[in-house]
Amino acid sequence: MLNLENYYIPLDRWIQTFVEWIAFNFRPAFLVIKWPIEGLLRLIQDGLLAMPPLLFLVVFTALAWWLAGRGLAIFTALSLVLLMLIGVWPESMTTLALIATAIVICVLIGIPTGILCARSDTAWRIVRPVLDVMQTTPSFVYLIPVVMLFGVGTVPGAVAVVVVAVPPLIRFTNLGIRMVDRELIEAGVAFGATERQLLWEVQLPQALPTILGGLNQTVLMAMVMAVIVAMIGAEGLGLVVLQGLGRLDVGRAAVGGIGIVLLAIILDRLTQAMANRERREEMSARPGLRAVLGGMFRGSRPALPEEAIEKTHGR
């Protein structure tokens, strides 16, 4: 009879040894990574906590009105007032600072990586399986290496949030650029646009609604992860929920959960409104594409040479 114990693979010990080796030999590198994240997080958090709650309410409500209209503005104002009344305003600002820090880092990493993947099939073949692993790995699994490499606290929590939240932004950026109408690319080439001009003046503006859709997914993933990272000492509403569960205080846990839900809905609707707004502007600008491109690139190339026309039309 086959004894499977004789064929046991000690994968758990291999992973443990590998992570310990990385933590021991690359500790300075992880401290360098941690330092700007900690500085950005502290800057945003101190700014939000120093702002008077009523001023924050007015600014955020005005932003919601401008982006999405009266309905979301009223909901935002009522939600923020409720966060004040139930006594979780400081925790809400800490969570918002954590999310904002993670979103900034996700944008700095995700959009350039998505652009690279869109412009290089080889890069996409390399990055895609990495994203598959990142998105299918349970969120709790990320906490162990993050603690070993960065320690505990809100900053390691922000690192874990970034790791979980950045894949959708990379995918949507890659998808948005690849879906840009081929006619626009050909028109840009015909008007003498360089690769850089095509990217900044044609591809990114046309892909922006899709990229903002990816940002919306990133925000939601970050909000979900904000609760989980409380297990490694991250402060905010997630810690309120965790403390309530640890003390069997259902009311305290519910208060933290309500705060997270309200913030998640506000951020979700705001990012959706940004994407819809860009999509409407894109559709209104579709007529006369060649005329628009001609005006865009006329300063860089005064005339349209015949060879560019022949190249565009495949002659």
Long-range contacts of the stretch 64-69 (C-beta < 8 A, 24+): 64/266, 64/269, 64/270, 64/273, 67/270, 67/273, 67/274, 67/277, 68/269, 68/270, 68/272, 68/273, 69/273
pLDDT at 91: 93
Reading the block at residue 108, the tokens are: 């700095």
Structure confidence at residue 304 as a pLDDT band (50, 70, 90): very low
Class of domain 28-312: mainly alpha
Vertex 54 angle, CA 51 and 58, to 5°: 100
Query: Which tens digits make up the pLDDT trace of 20-79?
Result: 888 888 888 888 888 889 899 999 999 999 999 999 999 999 999 998 888 889 999 999
Question: What kind and span of H or E run contains 158?
Answer: helix 154-178
Q: Which amino acid is at 306?
A: E
Dihedral of the CA atoms 103, 269, 142, 5 (nearest 10)? -150
Q: Does the pLDDT at position 295 exceed 90?
A: no
**Among positive and negative, which fits the CA dihedral 290, 296, 299, 301?**
negative
Q: Which one is predicted more confidently, 9 or 146? A: 146
**Among positive and negative, which fits the CA dihedral 221, 227, 230, 232?**
negative
User: Strand ranges (DSSP E) for 152-294?
Assistant: none
Comparing CA positions, the residue from 100, 110, 108 lying closest to residue 41 is 100
pLDDT at 115: 94
Specify the residue for token string 């929590």.
Answer: 157
